[in-house]
Amino acid sequence: MTKATIQRQKLIADFIDTGKVSSQNQLKGVLKKNGIIITQATLSRDLSELGAVKKRLNNGRLVYLLPKNQDNNAQLKIAKKALKDFVIDVEPVSNQVVIKTTTAAAQVIADSVDNLYIEDIIGSIAGDNVVLIITPSEVKAKEVAEIIDNNLQ
C-alpha cells in the first residue's frame, strides 16, 4: 500500500464517519476538493478494503458506514498497514519515542500513531523520515514504543 493510498483511504474513512456519504460520486467530489482525482474502480476498491457498506437509515436514506468494532475499524487497519509498510525502527529515548521511517513517510506515520489512540502520548512532531513522540515519563515512553512495535507485526 502506498502513502498516497493510505492518505486517500484515511480521507475517505474520515468523511464516511460523518454519516453524510450516500454515493461514490459524492466521495469522488470530496476527494477532488482535496486534490485527489481517482477512477471509479479505485474508489470501489478503497471502499472494499475499508469494509464500507451501504445501509438504509430509519429515514429511508442510504449511507455508507464503516465497521465499528476494534478489529474491523477502518482507520485502525490503515494505521497498522502504514506502520508495517513504512516504519524502519522504533526507539524509546528518555521520555520520548523516536520512530524512523522511509523517506517522506513521517507525516503518515504520525497520523497513524494518532489513530492508535495511545493514552500516554502528549504530542508528536513529524519531519521527513523521523517522528518524535513525547510522553510524560521514561516508563511511558517504553510502553508506547512497545505498543507501536506490537503494531508492526
Same domain for 103 and 145:
yes
* Mean pLDDT for the stretch of residues 128-149: 94
Residue 143 within any structural domain of the chain: yes
Q: Round the average pLDDT of the chain to a whole number and report it.
A: 88
Q: Is the pLDDT of residue 69 over 70?
A: no
Which segment of 49-63, 86-100, 125-139 scores lowest on mean pLDDT? 49-63
Residue 26 within any structural domain of the chain: yes
Domain tally for the chain? Answer: 2
Residue 80 within any structural domain of the chain: no
Residue 136 within any structural domain of the chain: yes
Closest CA to 26 of 6, 2, 54, 51: 54
Full domain range(s) for residue 90: 85-150
**What pLDDT does 2 receive?**
82
Q: Is the pLDDT of residue 72 over 50?
A: no
Same domain for 101 and 144:
yes
Same domain for 92 and 39:
no
**What is the DSSP code string of 78-94?**
HHHHHHHHHEEEEEEET
> Where is mean pLDDT largest: 15-19, 57-61, 95-99?
95-99
Structural domain ending residue among the three candidates 32, 66, 100: 66
Return the CATH number at 7: 1.10.10.10
Angle, vertex CA 137, rays to CA 149 and CA 147, nearest 5:
15
Residue 110 within any structural domain of the chain: yes
d(CA 58, CA 21): 15
Same domain for 11 and 57:
yes
Angle, vertex CA 7, rays to CA 5 and CA 9, nearest 5:
65
Residue 75 within any structural domain of the chain: no
Residue 51 within any structural domain of the chain: yes
Q: Is the pLDDT of residue 140 over 50?
A: yes
* Mean pLDDT for the stretch of residues 132-146: 95
- The predicted-structure confidence for 2-44, as pLDDT tens digits, reads as follows 888 888 998 998 899 888 899 999 999 999 999 999 998 899 8
Q: With cut-offs at 50, 70 and 90, classify the pLDDT of residue 99.
A: very high
Give the other-Cβ count within 10 Å of 95's Cβ: 18
Residue 71 within any structural domain of the chain: no
**What pLDDT does 58 receive?**
84
Cell, residue 150: 506490537
- C-alpha 33 chain-centroid distance: 20
Closest CA to 51 of 32, 25, 33, 69: 69
**What pLDDT does 70 receive?**
40
Return the CATH number at 111: 3.30.1360.40
Q: Which residues are bridge partners to 96 per DSSP? A: 93, 134
